[in-house]
A = this chain, B = another copy of it.
Amino acid sequence: MRIETVSTARSFGGVQGVYRHKSRETGTDMVFSVYLPPQAEAGPCPVVWFLSGLTCTHANVTEKGQFQRTCAELGLILVAPDTSPRGEGVSDDPEGAYDFGLGAGFYLDATQPPWAANYRMESYLVQELPDVLAANFPVDMAREAITGHSMGGHGALTLALKNPGRWRSVSAFAPISSPMRCPWGEKALAGYLGRDEAAWRRYDATALIEDGARLDHLLVDQGEADGVLKTQLKPELLAQACEAAGIPLTLRMQPGYDHSYYFVSTFMADHLRWHAERLAGPASGS
């Protein structure tokens, strides 16, 4: 549970930090960022997880996400993990493609060699990083929300769908809706999981819903000028699955917005307020 501080900087009255630790799940050093709002000086605060997209590290949302001001207003901690294991000995796409291997872990536990050795992002995020956070930061782990962007938006959906009650509030920015049905996802699922499509369904948000997983609420923002909207993201697949399953989906199509952090940052405050409202009540089951 020991962590090393990479950097800290005061931001909107709180502290934006970057930390490193040795992960038992990935077998590598892992870097993540934590924003502590001013309220964290007085006691535990709710936690919003932000999972990033292809090619990103913790740094993209930390530097460009414009979440600190609203987190400081609402008393929210924001945690941004990396998108894959990294470091010496970690396998990467043989051609160095941006959509597989480093920076493209897809938040799953790989079963195929050589990926199975280090690409264990699901276990890292579900089992290990929460303990690291609880041991080192004033986090209220009974009040967690999860969101993310693109591959990370899909990661947020799948983790929440597979772990009922763990994340009390779920949203996504321009998520991949169904990796089984888009080129990014087909490549990743085949590479990390092999050709057995039954295994794929456990890492496909739309398939998980079709197979019975549920969310209490879901907020999704999607830019209409997003260059991968029709080829990779396909929000209509998610909308159809939610409709059929009775999951209340708020899907906002945003005219003129692309896939960049200018899109994410514009709607970040809306998502944080959405999460804060849903984290404010008593914990379910308490």
Contact = CB atoms under 8 A, between A and B. Distances in A.
Interface of A: 9-13, 16, 63-64, 66, 68-69, 223, 225, 254, 256-258, 260-263, 265-266, 269
Copy number in the complex reads 2
Contact of A69 (B66, B225, B257, B263): B66
A72 to B, nearest CB: 9
A9 B69 contact: no
Would you list the 8 A-B pairs with minimal beta carbon distance, nearest first? Answer: A9-B262, A11-B262, A10-B256, A10-B257, A66-B66, A12-B266, A9-B260, A63-B64
Q: State the main secondary structure of chain A at its contact with B.
A: mixed
A13 to B, nearest CB: 8
B225 A11 contact: no
Contacts of A10: 223, 225, 254, 256-258, 262-263, 266
Contacts of A9: 257-258, 260, 262-263
Contacts of A254: 10
A260 B260 CA distance: 23
Nearest to A60: B63
Given A10-B254, A11-B262, A11-B263, 5 more contacts: A10-B258, A13-B266, A63-B64, A66-B68, A68-B262
Nearest to A63: B64
A257 B254 CA distance: 35
Contacts of A258: 9-10
A37 B268 CA distance: 18
A149 to B, nearest CB: 14
A266 B9 CA distance: 11
A134 to B, nearest CB: 25
